Amino acid sequence: MNNSAAVLDTIPVSDRNRASSHSGGLPVVCWFEECHKDSVPLVGGKCSSLGELINAGVRVPPGFALTTEGYRHFMAESGLQQEIKSLLAGLDAQDMDALEQVSASIRTAIENQPFSTEMEDLVAEFYRKLSVRCCLPAVPVAVRSSATAEDLPGASFAGQQDTYLWIRGAEEVLHHMRSCISSLYTGRAIAYRANQGYHDEQMALSVGVQKMANSFTAGVMFSIHPANGDRSVIVIDSNYGFGESVVSGEVTPDNFIVNKVTMDIIERTISQKEIYYTVDQKSQKSIAIEVPFERQKVQSLLDDEITELAWMAKQIEKHYGRPMDIEWAVDKDLPFGGNIFILQARPETVWSQKQKTADVKSGVSAMDYIVSGMLQGKKLS
């Protein structure tokens, strides 16, 4: 994976100047490689994490971000800020009907407002360059919101805004960027910010545009047991296709528990997986289809893939110095050894906030597993 300097060297000086043409030189659009963990005010939690991972040597699909400066520039040009402020003034966060009515008005106004010609050209140029880097014309991308208050320790804003999968073409990317911006004003997001004491002035949105992994299998993993807080294990959930079915809870995924020290798979639960998401070759859209009956109870990950995922989770946790919640995918177009990608990583925000992890009775320590394996003559590596 190229580092920031190498990527910047591939961008003509004129492009760099255009990308930094607003608000005292802050970029309107930037590559993920140019971001790091301290870039949250500029590109939000999700994109800053992706940049941090890339610069730490983790395998991440490439992409770029419309920055918070780009978001502010769009909102200022649209003239919508005062209208939104007026609509939100005095709104009761407990009145869901009123929230949804206001939300619909705000979202329609944002989505119908075009970007400036300059910003459209800039996004289209970055998308073209991404397609060239990926050796794919009109490269399929995920368009993901990245708010400045999401994915932060002590906050749970993740999931408040929208994600759109398998988007192709500059016009579609721009359209879904506006949809991501408008999702900052869903009824649920407005209510959540009000209840948490966050004012809209404190919020800004970045939008990430990331190459889609053509997933054979995808899912989530935690470098801590999400049910009992045991830090000695890594827990992996997986299903065929895109990770959307796992994240949304539409299927009961396969579940694997890996010892963090020995990398042994110590528990596995193979579920009946009835649907998965993949791309419709005609419409080029993400669709849910039925898993063939003979595959429904087949393990969706190879053991070697489970071990590599666990190793990656361990490295990511070590880099961040805290338990992590990670989204991943296995790309079916690439050979094993270079086909597992990290799509997102955020701090785990439940157990990691506690002074203690799970009670000893509710989990087994890493040393217990090691001793048990030795007594059984079990290979530990």
The tens digit of pLDDT for each residue in 76-107 reads 898 888 889 888 888 888 898 999 999 999 99
Domain 4-211 has CATH 3.40.50.300: no
Model confidence, pTM: 0.80
pLDDT averaged over every residue in the chain: 84
Query: Which of 108-122, 151-165, 231-245 has the least mean pLDDT?
Result: 151-165
pLDDT single digits (tens) 136-193: 999 999 999 998 865 444 444 544 567 888 899 999 999 999 999 999 898 888 888 8
Question: Rounded distance, CA 120 to CA 110, Å?
Answer: 15
Contact residues for 13 (Cβ-Cβ < 8 A; gap 6+):
none
Cα separation of 317 and 323, whole Å?
Answer: 6
- Please compute the mean of the pLDDT values over residues 1-21 and round it to a whole number: 41
The angle subtended at Cα 74 by Cα 122 and Cα 3, nearest 5°, is 45
What is the distance between the alpha carbons of residues 340 and 312, in angstroms, rounded to a whole number? 9
Delimit the CATH 3.30.1490.20 region(s) of the chain. 4-211
pLDDT > 70: what percent of the chain?
A: 82
Q: Are 222 and 234 in contact (CB under 8 A)?
A: yes
Architecture of the 215-375 domain: 2-Layer Sandwich (3.30)
CA distances from 90 to 99, 110, 292, 332 (A): 11, 21, 52, 51
Higher pLDDT, 368 or 193: 193
Three-state SS for 306? helix
CATH 3.30.470.20 range(s) for the chain read: 215-375
pLDDT at 369 over 70: no
Dihedral pair phi/psi, residue 44, rounded to 5°: 75, 175
The token pair that represents 286 in the structure block: 């993400």
Question: How many angstroms separate the CA atoms of 340 and 342, rounded?
Answer: 7
Q: What are phi and psi of 229, to 5 degrees?
A: 80, 10
